[in-house]
Amino acid sequence: SVRQALAHLHGYRVAATVVLAQRADVLAVLSSQRRPGPIVAIISGQHDFSTLSTVSIDQALGARLATEHLLAQGRSRLLHVTGDLSWQDASERLAAYQSVCAEAGIPGRWVGTDAWTGEAGARVARRLLGAGLPDAVFAGNDDIALGLCHELLAAGVRIPDDVAVVGFDDIPLARWATPSLSSVTQDFDALGRAALSLSDELVAGGTPRSVTLTPQMVVRGSAPSRSRMTSP
């Protein structure tokens, strides 16, 4: 479908194309194009393409921020619940989480899911209730985190006292959840602006280049800092 879309757009002589390339197979298609024209690929992770510009948010850094935050609160039995691992986002976050755990000398336990939904998080929570709980969960995204929190809270698990939870994306609902969800925020507006700016550069005859944006850790009630947990 990606090849067909590129061929269709080529027939209209578009000035530049922006491709949301979140899966590895899409990246392979883009890199194999003989005459693709100016292309900006919105990607996850770092890739070296000399023929197209890329823009990304540093997924590995975001996962590192989340994992290091949980470790800094004294948590040592971590679990990462991934999203769909066919997505570059999920594989980048998993690899970074495992790297931080290895550096800290603790097991980098993880559970894979085939979706990015609250139901996927709820299914994992039900399994954990029967098999034993970690003391912290880094979820692949906020929907997974919220579904997991819902099931744990319904079973009487205290968040963050028993289990701290961090999500990823910082969706609007994260701040209104009970408890409010700590998360890694991604500036998607800045991502879009960067993609259009790179498109303008290519149309003007510029050389392809890569732009990487920096995520931020947002601390809320589901995984507060240690000082907030101990304050009156």
| Predicted local distance difference test score (pLDDT) of residue 231 | 40
DSSP code for 208: P
Which domains are delineated in the chain? 2-58+186-215 (3.40.50.2300), 59-185+219-224 (3.40.50.2300)
This prediction's pTM? 0.89
Q: Are 136 and 107 in contact (CB under 8 A)?
A: no
| Predicted local distance difference test score (pLDDT) of residue 93 | 96
148-166 pLDDT, tens per residue?
999 999 999 999 999 999 9
73-96 pLDDT, tens per residue?
999 999 999 999 989 899 999 999
- Residue 148: in which H helix or E strand, if any? helix 142-154
Rg (CA), the chain: 20
162-187 pLDDT, tens per residue?
999 999 999 999 999 999 999 999 99
Cα dihedral across residues 26, 31, 36, 41: positive or negative: positive
